[in-house]
Every structure is written in structure tokens, then in C-alpha cells.
Amino acid sequence: MNTITAAITAVGAYVPDFVLSNQVLETMVDTNDEWITARTGIKERRILKDADKGTSYLAIQAAKDLIAKANIDPLEIDMIIMATATPDMMVASTGVFVATEIGATNAFAYDLQAACSSFLYGMSTAAAYVQSGRYKKVLLIGADKMSSIVDYTDRATCIIFGDGAGAVLFEPNYEGLGLQDEYLRSDGVGRDFLKIPAGGSLIPPSEDTVKNRQHNIMQDGKTVFKYAVTNMADASELILQRNNLTNQDVDWLVPHQANKRIIDATAGRLELDESKVLVNIERYGNTTSGTLPLVLADFEDKLKKGDNIIFAAFGGGFTWGSIYLKWAYDKK
């Protein structure tokens, strides 16, 4: 088979040591473990406490983990896509800094931002570069330091998010494995329902924006939940139909880890048994761009060559979609 497909050939991950449990949150805002667990499925999340470390630190550690496990030379990496909603700083690309810090000096790099769909969109982009035949090794990193934009007096958001990073390597495959199909969508109707109001060109930083906490993430939870449940499920169902797959053909569902009820609704629409749904939200919360690769890293032992995997995500903007991928290797 001479047709090039783009397959994931290695994964890496990193989460900070500090654990922010529901019990600790009970001392910070008016909430409790039972309420958080029932509505989100989250028990704890990891937080990068170091004030002098940003998203790049998480990304570098995840990339180094992948490089060590796959035993590859960073100089062989052709390009790096940095999926993140919390770059270290405006203008200066976080991905470029990460590439230099891991020794991938032959790679070009850039950031990709689509909120919680960033990594899913990045999978499409990385695969397209590989399938073009121009690039052999594309490193896709999903990382976010969500604690840097969360208001820890706002119980609607502070219970949800955590910090973390994951990375995957896309390489050419000639066995028909790797990315098979994608359905990616967006709708600007979501602009006002999940956002950081200030800090961009529309509302530049000022003394007032800081005082009014306009640099923290804000969301209309009920509206976001409604759109997420419908669109993640619709996209995943369409991918199955378009590829003549039944629920019996699906080996694993890898959903964005935003809310256990959203995950359950998506799995329910596909009529998938719970054993086929990969979930780690109880330990990490929503790490935004980090959720999908962290799931892959946590469950890498279960993934077998040829497995049919359905990825699904939903994020601010709104952005969403689903990807069908055939797994390319058995973990050694």
C-alpha cells in the first residue's frame, strides 16, 4: 500500500505534583465534594503552583516524556504544533520556545488555539502535514495552565479546571492505520457563553479590567452544557455513519474530559458500553488542550494495533468535532 496515512506512533504526558482535591476546594468556595462529583465527575485536579512556570513548562515535560519513551532524536522532529488556550505570553509563540527547549532545532513550530477543541483540531492539522508527504515526524502537544486564568472565588469555574499536558507523535503509515476521517465544526454564536473578556484587542488590559476580574475565564454553564452534549454526540454519530461503523466496531471512545455527564451523553448516543469509554476526569478535571492526549497516555496499555478509536471534543467559540483513528501500535 503506497497511500500515506498519518498515524500516532508515540505518546507522552505530564501533570504537576500538587493535587487540588474537592475537599480543599470546600475551604475556598461555597461547595462540597458531593455536589462537585454529582455534577462533573471530578474528584481532584493538578495545579502548577510555581509562579515562574507557565504552559511551556508543562508542554516541555510532556514532550520530553514522549521523546524518552519513543527513544527518538529531537533533531528528527520536522514540526511542532502547540495546542493551547493559555500561551505563556501574547505574540511570542509558546510552541517556538518549547521546540528550542527540547532540542528540536530543525523543527518549525506554532500555536493553535481552539479552546477545548485545540488538540482535536491539531490532530487534523498534524495528519494533513504528514499525509502531504513533506513531513515525517510531527509533534502535537496539548497543554494548558488553566489555573492561570481561573478565578478561585467563582465556584462555577474553579471546580472544573486543572493543569496538564500531553503529546503525540504523528508519522507516515503505509498499512492504512492512523487518521481515517474527521468532522470538525465551529459556530460564533458561542462567543459570549465561554470566554475571557479582556486582554485581547477588543478590550485591552487596563486597571479596570484587572479590578473587574475580566482576565479570568467566564462561562454560562447551562448553555455550554446544552451545546456540548448535542454537538459532541452529533459529530461522533455522524462519523460512525459516514464510515459504516456500528457501536460494535468501535473499540474506544476518547472524549474531551469536561464533564462526566457530557461524556456519558455522548457514549449513550453511540450506545457504547461503559467499558469502551476512556475516562480520567476524576483525577485531572478539565485540562482543556491536555485532555485527549492525557487519556491516551493513561490508557496506552489498553490500546492495540488496529483498534478503532473515536475522538470527540467541544470548546469555546464554539468549536467541536469528532475524529476516527485506527491505532497503529501495541505498547512494548
Exposure string of 180-218, with b = 16+ CB inside 10 Å and e = fewer, is: bebbbebeeebeebbbbbbbeeeeeeeeeeeeeebbbbb
DSSP-assigned letters across all residues of 64-76: HHHHHHHT--GGG
For the chain, how far is it from start to end, CA to CA, in angstroms? 25
Q: Which of 59, 10, 7, 6 has its CA nearest to residue 300?
A: 10
Q: Which of 116, 158, 231, 259 is catalytic?
A: 116
Q: Which of 22, 231, 259, 286 is catalytic?
A: 286
Q: Does residue 256 have an active-site annotation? A: yes
Measured CA distances, 308 to 97, 129, 138, 179, 244 (Å): 34, 22, 22, 10, 12
**Which cell numbers hold the place of 102?**
527540547
Measured CA distances, 79 to 55, 161, 322 (Å): 19, 29, 24
Q: Which of 22, 216, 256, 259 is catalytic?
A: 256
Q: Does residue 286 have an active-site annotation? A: yes
Q: Does residue 158 have an active-site annotation? A: no
Q: Write down how long the chain is.
A: 332
Instruction: Let me know: does 285 contact 144? Beta carbons within 8 Å.
Output: no
Give the residue numbers annotated as catalytic, written as ranges.
Answer: 116, 256, 286
